[in-house]
Structure 1
Amino acid sequence: MQDQQGTAPLDDFFPAWNQGAHPELYEVENRAFDREGTVWDALARLAPWAGRTLLDLGCGTGFWLPRYAELAKSVIGVEPDPELLAAARSRPGGAEVLHGSAEHIPLPDASVDVVHARFAYFFPSPQNDCTAGLEEVLRVLRPGGSLVVIDNDQHDGDFAALLEAANASAHQGEGKYIKDWWAQQGATTSLVMSSWTFDSPQDLVDVVSMEFPNGTADEWLAQEPQRVRLSYGYALHHLSKGERNRR
């Protein structure tokens, strides 16, 4: 059975509660991300993509595809949500956007140099085994290629406090378990402190309320209603294909 965009539904796909349900508001969130550039600098140090082929796995509406295209030889976006594909394909920069998922990447073996997964698929926990997606990423990586997963630091920063209040580890996995899981795969984890910086207090309220729709952020939001910034710690899990093979 085909969906309305001519792509077959993926049986392992569940729409995201944030970008999938509120793509325009998620655009505001993306614009607020890391205006200091500290996360981008760390990504470039861990796995440079200048002159290389980069895969943005779970690219959503493709917000970051044009930025990758500024330096990469070629950029590929893979997205499981068929409702977001048209937006991703309309971005400038010439990226190729394909319908797929972490467990079903529609690319040949050894065809990309760098894979970025930004809050997509890789939420390891005792209830959620991410091994199949990792094996698929390693299949499409060239020898020496790198995967970098952008995740939450659950301990430092305003956003970590919001995650704790919402008991996010119940569905995202507990921080120590996640770090240990990546270490067992041969990955290293780097912690980077950055921020979300918004153009208006209302933008901050709208985005935080989207990410925490159960009201657990309401008290925090009420403490400083004119704030436009929150500190945000990121965990960057970096794995090279060669390191995984030497486990």
Structure 2
Amino acid sequence: MLNHDQAGLPADFFRAWNQGLHPDLYESENRALDREGHVWAALVRLAPWEDRILLDLGCGTGFWLPRYAELAASVIGVEPDPELLAAARSRPGGASVLHGSAEHIPLPDNSVDVVHARFAYFFPSPQNNCSAGLAEVLRVLRPGGSLVVIDNDQNDGEFADLLDAANAAAGQGDGGYIAAWWKERGASTTTVMSSWTFDRPEDLADVLRMEFPDGTGAGWVARNPGRTRLSYGYALHHLSKGEPNRR
């Protein structure tokens, strides 16, 4: 059950500055992600979901739910922002969309096979311990199930350079710290180089200004007029839930 504050929202809820405030622009960003398919191929290899139950944790407006539904036996989206739920529920594919959060997943124990979290919740840092959410994910995963967290590679690619210039690690955790955090919990990390590829330079410029409101994005656009693509490295953190001991 969710622990709500007086406003009717989970006590630990913080609206995302990107999708939460600019859902239409974030839709454009999602359309630009990984058009090469490199990340999708890695996700399928790490934790295949064909004929399985998949949970998209922090599903936002549900952009990825229909694609998951192409292979999964069933798809569940969980999203803490109530203003995004209607859009997620209107997506094709028949996913069930629930109001919840990483720390409060409204599902029974051992009820899903695969959990994906795309740029959601899992930003470990000395100031932000994500263990509560990880424990909740492991609760709902079946033995042998997998969590895959899709995150930014802070070392390689033009987007990593932007993150460094904007000092993003101050708010979301240093890349080395994040990798060590996952390793300590038995996870593996796979890096994949792909891109953001937009149809128009204006779309890339608008998304960069949204993601880097400090001016870092606008500076990149000024130095790279007319660009529709930038290289983007992804870090995929994969953790499997162990099978129970049998005697």
TM-score, normalised by the number of residues in structure 2: 0.95
Over aligned residues, Cα RMSD in angstroms? Answer: 1.4
Gap change, CA 1:12 and 1:97, over 3 Å in 2: same
Superposed counterparts of 1:159-238, under 5 Å: 159-238=159-238
Retained in 2: the 8 A contact 1:186–1:244?
A: no
SS in 2 for 1:170: helix
SS in 2 for 1:242: coil
Q: Give the AA of the match of 2:116.
A: H
Deviations 1:41-67 (A, max 9, x none): 000000000000000000000000000
Runs of 4+ in 1 over 2 A off after TM superposition: none
Gap change, CA 1:215 and 1:53, over 3 Å in 2: same
Counterpart Cα distance in 2 of 1:188 and 1:49: 18
Please state how far the C-alpha of 1:244 moved relative to its aligned partner.
11
Q: Give the AA of the match of 2:131.
A: T
Structure 2 unaligned spans of 5+? 1-6
Retained in 2: the 8 A contact 1:187–1:243?
A: no
Q: Give the AA of the match of 1:97.
A: V
Q: Give the AA of the match of 2:212.
A: F
SS in 1 for 2:45: helix
Retained in 2: the 8 A contact 1:186–1:243?
A: no
Retained in 1: the 8 A contact 2:211–2:217?
A: no
The aligned counterpart of 2:3 is none
Q: Give the AA of the match of 1:20.
A: G
Structure 1 unaligned spans of 5+? 1-6
The aligned counterpart of 1:70 is 70
Q: Give the AA of the match of 2:219.
A: E
The aligned counterpart of 2:82 is 82
Count of aligned pairs between the two proteins: 239
The aligned counterpart of 1:143 is 143
SS in 1 for 2:27: helix
Superposed counterparts of 1:104-115, under 5 Å: 104-115=104-115
Q: Percent identity between the aligned chains?
A: 78
Please state how far the C-alpha of 1:243 moved relative to its aligned partner.
8.3
Counterpart Cα distance in 1 of 2:37 and 2:112: 25
Counterpart Cα distance in 1 of 2:222 and 2:9: 41
Deviations 1:135-192 (A, max 9, x none): 0000000000000000000010010000000000000100000000000000000000
The aligned counterpart of 2:95 is 95
Q: Give the AA of the match of 1:18.
A: N
Please state how far the C-alpha of 1:9 moved relative to its aligned partner.
1.2
SS in 2 for 1:117: strand
Deviations 1:52-103 (A, max 9, x none): 0000000000000000000000000000000000000000000000000000
